[in-house]
Structure 1
Amino acid sequence: MNKTVLVLRHLQFENLGILEQELIHQGYTIEYVEAPLANFSQLDAIKPDLLIVLGGPIGVYEEAIYPFLQSELQFIQTRLASKKPILGICLGAQLMARVLGAKVYATGKKEIGYAPLILTEQGQKSVLALLNETPVLHWHGDQFEIPAGAQHLAKTTVCDYQAFQYQQFALGLQFHLEADAEAIELWLVGHACELAQAKINIAEIREQAKTYGEALKKAGIAVFRAWQQEVGL
């Protein structure tokens, strides 16, 4: 019987990236759900073997502007209560943190581009140690705090809270472990307004993707496989 992964997506190009072919190779059946259009009452939060919640350019605190967030938060809450594996990336991790009672807020600055993580003592003992100072893609202006009962795994010079593990089944990553450097042009076009407003050097990100993309793909897949082993997938 094939294992299944349900993926909550907020933007078409912020997809599973390097993890997609890995999951297909492992025999998973992947189902994408477009979160802004989803009828969450018709979806089963518990049945899939794995739930992955991807990124997006909105804030978890913007329910009044984007009402679907209320239903998505409830869906994630149901999944967390089941103690079945869940991986949250960027907005996905922020949604998880919010459900777990942690504060999520705008930092007033953008962290966009490739840079290595600074692992905490707990992070050095976690699957993130496999990144081994490999630069990862950062793309956010909001930040979560670490939920009560969760382990703080990583930070950067710009953002104090980059990753957390909650019990053994939930991993939240502020950074984009999944991003495929070969598809970076989609990110540069899709987030053109944000990049212009933040005065980000687009050519620099493009060059970083060429420089670090292959190493990040290798390390990212290694991290994902190690996490799968930890959670019994």
Structure 2
Amino acid sequence: MSFRSDQARVVPFARRRPAAATPEQARPVLIVLHQETSTPGRIGNALRALGYRLDIRRPRFGDALPETLEQHSGAVIFGGPMSANDSDDYVRREIDWIAIPLREQRPMLGVCLGAQMLARQLGATVAPHAEGRVEVGYYPIRPTDAGRALCPDWPARVYHWHGEGFELPDGAELLAEGNDFPVQAFQFGNAFGLQFHPDVTYAMMHRWTARGCVRMEQPGAQPRHRHFAERAVYNAAERAWLTHFIAGWIVRTPRAMLQAAE
């Protein structure tokens, strides 16, 4: 089932986060991970720094997802080695579940696989590059006018680890473009999809490039040493952008709360 809405529009993130509830009072952010050893990385760090608790669940290993996000501040679906086109039950259930944050207009963020799942829920196609190319390493990103209006100071390059991309869903706003995979970031209401990985920490990069070294043999992938060389150049800008993005994204107001205030 795909979800449609006419609520997608670009509203710039606030420069300063409003006064927040204490960590004890704040609703947690739902974190959806896909491997036993996965972590929320820098996104988790940014949310904790803002005072949010994390409700970490792994549906692949039997964790249930909530029937509503009324008890959560938002949701983040992270990446993984699987495909949004896989027939596994948990993949299908996650894609269907995304209808809940879309319907309730809770802040929702999909990263890499999570963005592809969001695109699938919205009716877009997810597929490998036509020439078999991948993005594994640092690649240029070009924010659109809408992307710059939403969140300025985008980094020149961002970290990637994927072999599939997706079309821009109908009704979504394109926020950033790339070369081999044109759709790099988009917004649909309070839901955002990022094809790249601003969540990756230095330790995560070591694990990925060691355990996933075969990915660096694919067309378009960068060799391992370049991952670390370019991290030294682009990491600070990507981390600063992520901090600003997360602070603006998590305080977006659900539609129901806006209607209640009218």
* TM-score tier (shorter): 0.7 to 0.9
Distance of 2:159 and 2:36 partners within structure 1: 18
Report Cα offsets for 1:114-150 as digits up to 9, x if no partner: 12311122222222x331x432101111111111111
The alpha-carbon deviation at position 39 of structure 1 amounts to: 4.1
Number of corresponding residues: 226
Runs of 4+ aligned residues of structure 1 deviating over 4 Å after TM superposition are: 229-232
Bigger Cα displacement from structure 2, 8-17 vs 97-106: 8-17
Q: Give the gaps of 5 or more residues in structure 2.
A: 1-24, 255-262
Quote the residue 2:170 is aligned against. 148
Quote the residue 1:225 is aligned against. 247
Partner SS for 1:109: coil
TM-score (norm 1): 0.88
Quote the residue 2:58 is aligned against. 34
Quote the residue 1:85 is aligned against. 107
The alpha-carbon deviation at position 190 of structure 1 amounts to: 3.0
Distance of 1:190 and 1:62 partners within structure 2: 22
Alignment of 1:3-42 (within 5 A): 3-12=27-36, 14-40=38-64
Give, as a single letter, the amino acid of the residue that structure 1 aligns with 2:93: S
| Higher helix proportion | 1
Alpha-carbon spacing, 1:155–1:231, altered in 2? closer, same or farther (3 Å)? farther
Quote the residue 2:202 is aligned against. 181
Partner SS for 2:98: helix
Partner SS for 2:72: coil
Distance of 2:245 and 2:153 partners within structure 1: 6
CA RMSD of aligned residues (A): 2.0
Q: Does 1:216 align with 2:235?
A: no
Distance of 2:156 and 2:37 partners within structure 1: 23
Bigger relative CO (Cα 8 Å, ≥ 6 apart): 2
